[in-house]
């Protein structure tokens, strides 16, 4: 019996963690991700919640708001880096106003077109962009 490699299983949906304190925005991001073919792994509105999610590691990438209810999301960025999970920073700050810990990560400015977030996530996960 020869061994035949099985054809690629249908690609599982990539799981994305949303770290966003603004409920309304989180809701919109959630919808956009669902529409963009992702699965939402969780929504964290506070830094502690975000760190708990990251520790559990049940996701492929993250969307990270740089400011969570007045607290810097820097520790979450550091944890994501330590875990080797790609992430997109969304922020109301100008790149020049951005904290050092976020520099280097792909970043989009609020407000943004949900499609550009989807495209960025596909880039960092090495998924082809949807046309």
Binding other proteins (rule: CB under 8 A), the pick from 16, 17, 19, 26 is 26
Q: Are 60 and 14 in contact (CB under 8 A)?
A: yes
- 3-state class (DSSP) for residue 40: strand
3-class DSSP state for residue 71?
strand
Distance, in Å, from the CA atom of 43 to the CA atom of 23, rounded to the nearest integer, reads 9
Strand 107-109 with 87-91, pairing: parallel
Residues 66 to 125 in contact with other proteins, rule: CB under 8 A: 67, 69, 91-94, 97, 109-112, 114
Which of 28/127 has CB closer to other proteins? 28
The least CB distance from residue 15 to other proteins, in Å, is 19
Per-residue x/- track, 46-75, other proteins (CB under 8 A): x--x-----------------x-x------
Alpha-carbon separation of residue 52 from 42, 48, 75, 77, 126 (angstroms): 11, 6, 12, 13, 26
Stretch that binds other proteins, among 9-17, 45-53, 73-81, 122-130 (CB under 8 A): 45-53
Residues in contact with other proteins by the rule CB under 8 A:
21-28, 31, 43, 45-46, 49, 67, 69, 91-94, 97, 109-112, 114
């Amino acid at each position: 019996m020869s061994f035949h490699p099985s054809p690629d299983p249908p690609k599982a949906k990539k799981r994305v963690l949303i770290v966003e304190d603004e409920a309304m925005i989180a809701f919109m991001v959630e919808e956009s991700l669902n529409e963009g073919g992702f699965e939402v792994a969780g929504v964290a509105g506070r830094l502690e919640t975000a760190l708990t999610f990251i520790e559990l590691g049940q996701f492929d990438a993250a969307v990270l708001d740089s400011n969570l209810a007045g607290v810097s999301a820097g520790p979450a960025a550091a944890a994501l880096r330590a875990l080797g999970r790609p992430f997109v920073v969304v922020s109301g700050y100008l790149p020049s106003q951005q904290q050092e810990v976020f520099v280097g990560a792909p970043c989009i400015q609020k407000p943004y077109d949900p499609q550009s977030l989807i495209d960025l996530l596909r880039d960092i996960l090495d998924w082809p962009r949807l046309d």
